[in-house]
Amino acid sequence: MLTLASSSQTRAEILRANGISFNQIKLNFKEEVERVGTPSKYVLDVVKSKQKEFFDIYPDMQNVLFADSIVSIEDKIFGKAKYEKDALDMLLAQSGNIVSVFSAMLFCSQKFEMISVNETKFEFLKFEENDLNFYLQSNEWQGKAGAMMIEGFNKKYIKSYSGYLSNARGLCVEILKAFL
């Protein structure tokens, strides 16, 4: 059994849907990593920061999974929106654009450490104003990288994509399963 070191309900849902046994430890990670370098380097740095913070508290835990995701447009990194205005700005940047989701995961066991960074790329249609306003009012964007909800609001606007949809939701389960 693995331990999911994350407060993300979406990551927990992905594990459950794929029959992976786990328990979840929810920590409020600081995520205060300086936004330098490429999006893939940044998201990996965040995951490594979570790993260090977690093992400072639980030094003897094994089979621990860490993950984080960011949204990027032309190498500009979008984290989680704090306010509705931030969410609106992030979503307007995505509308009619090509957007990447980078998710990093790090799995630590007694036998090995697995690190993976994956990109899923989307081409979105223009978002309709009424849908956008409804989504913002729903507050479903809260806690989502780039205010993106690929299984919800953003789904109907996908023109094309490459990569894993699970990765865009925050955890590339296809790669994780290959290592478990």
Residue 83 is predicted with a pLDDT of 96
Short-list 32, 119, 117, CA closest to 75 = 119
Residue 132 is predicted with a pLDDT of 97
Q: Which fold has domain 2-178?
A: Maf protein (3.90.950)
CB atoms within 10 A of CB 140: 15
Beta-strand relationship, 22-25 and 98-108: unpaired
pLDDT tens digit string along 115-125? 999 999 999 99
Give the predicted TM-score (pTM) of the model: 0.92
Out of 45, 68, 75, 86, which one is annotated catalytic?
A: 68
Residue 34 is predicted with a pLDDT of 72
CB 171 within 8 A of CB 104: no
Q: What distance in Å separates the CA atoms of residue 25 and residue 137, rounded to the nearest whole number?
A: 30
Short-list 15, 8, 5, CA closest to 143 = 8
pLDDT tens track, the chain, 180 positions: 999 999 999 999 999 999 999 999 988 776 666 777 899 999 999 999 999 999 999 999 999 999 999 999 998 999 899 999 999 999 999 999 999 999 999 999 988 999 999 999 999 999 999 999 999 999 999 999 999 999 999 999 999 999 999 999 999 999 999 988
How do the domains of the chain map onto residue ranges? Answer: 2-178
Q: Is 68 a catalytic residue?
A: yes
pLDDT tens digit string along 96-108? 999 999 999 999 9
Residue 36 is predicted with a pLDDT of 76
